[in-house]
Structure 1
Amino acid sequence: MVQSNLGGLKVAILVTDGFEQVEMTEPRKALDEAGAKTSIVSPKDGRVKAWKFTKWGDEFPVDVPLSQARPGDFDAILLPGGVLNPDKLRMDTNAVMFAQAFLDSGKPVATICHGPWTLIETGKVRGRRLAAWPSLQTDLENAGAEGVDQEAVV
């Protein structure tokens, strides 16, 4: 059993269809086991469909539709990658504004793989160091951020 060092922490997991399944399920499992309360937030109602390496993966229930989600109800946000997911989210003004609220308030923001694409659209990544998939390096540099190909950056 994992110790509950995140007890009471509420984490929004912002996704839409096409998120890389393992990039949502494994961090969610770790957060939940550490005592956090995770919620899938999505512009889609009902269920979201994951991408699993080279094909469609499992479906997951949306806990909070983005239209009803308030950043103030959460302590942190997780932005999983996959190529389809952040490409759709960064074109959704409400999703971008939701993510931006966490940056503006200084709350923890975790991104995986292509997840930083959504943050680039906020205009708030200048001067930040972000772990990202190598193909995002130019996008991050153009936005004034430093992209690094590392497992984690704090």
Structure 2
Amino acid sequence: MQSLDGKRIAILATHGFEQSELEVPLKKLRDAGAQVDVVAPEAGEIRGWDKKDWGGPVAVDRKLSEASAEAYDALVLPGGQINPDLLRTDPAALDFIRAFDAQKKVIAAVCHAPWLLIETGIARGRNMTGYKSIRTDLANAGAKVHDEPVVVDQGIVTSRNPGDLDAFCDKIAEEVNEGRHRQRQAA
């Protein structure tokens, strides 16, 4: 993975995130030198979902109401079914995601998290992938859907499942090092 020294990355999540989809990027991006903050609507800890039951807690570094897209180079959105479903009904979470898009910063979503890109309107016209059960949702939102491990479209990185997290993290690092995607606009 490319070095991320001096870069700041936010991971936006709430209760019910898929354990590996938050913890693996958190570790890999920190190991590459990035300062990574777990941002959540609530302070304290959020609890993950680990395959078929509740998983462990993860400490929240910054409450969403105190976070700003301007402070970060990229945003990572872990999936799981519960986490993105809760966040897509949270206006502050959607505004946070839209702010990254407006600033042409990297946004990375794995598994069910592309639901958030649908809800914010970011999916329209983009090449994307996601978990098999949301691909119809992506297509209905106007995305160009691909059944590939990781798809990148002008700084929007999507991945279909937790088995692809190494490639997902590598693409996040690559896109962050490219910088802002000034040409990014929906097709």
Aligned to 1:17: 15
Does structure 2 retain, via aligned residues, the 8 Å contact 1:12–1:38? yes
User: 1:8 deviation in Å?
Assistant: 1.0
Does structure 1 retain, via aligned residues, the 8 Å contact 2:129–2:135? no
Q: Percent identity?
A: 45
- 1:8-28 alpha-carbon deviations (Å, 9 max, x no partner): 111100000000000111111
Q: Give matches, 1:19-34, under 5 Å.
A: 19-34=17-32
- For these two proteins, the number of residue pairs brought into alignment is 152
Q: TM-score, normalised by structure 1?
A: 0.94
Q: Distance in 1 between matches of 2:57 and 2:26?
A: 15
Q: 1:56 aligns with which of 54, 57, 77?
A: 54
Q: In structure 1, what residue type is equivalent to 2:121?
A: G
RMSD: 1.2
Q: Where do 5+ consecutive residues of structure 1 fail to align? A: none
Q: In structure 2, what residue type is equivalent to 1:121?
A: E
Q: In structure 2, what residue type is equivalent to 1:107?
A: K
Aligned to 2:74: 76
- 1:93-143 alpha-carbon deviations (Å, 9 max, x no partner): 110110111112110111110011111111122111122001111111111
Q: Distance in 2 between matches of 1:54 and 1:45?
A: 25
Does structure 2 retain, via aligned residues, the 8 Å contact 1:130–1:145? yes
Q: Where do 5+ consecutive residues of structure 2 fail to align? A: 153-187
Aligned to 2:43: 45
Q: Give matches, 1:1-150, under 5 Å.
A: 5-150=3-148
Q: In structure 1, what residue type is equivalent to 2:23?
A: T
Structure 1 window deviating more from structure 2 (134-143 vs 71-80): it is 134-143
Q: Distance in 1 between matches of 2:26 and 2:147?
A: 22
Runs of 4+ in 1 over 4 A off after TM superposition: none
Q: TM-score, normalised by structure 2?
A: 0.78
Structure 1 window deviating more from structure 2 (120-129 vs 49-58): it is 120-129
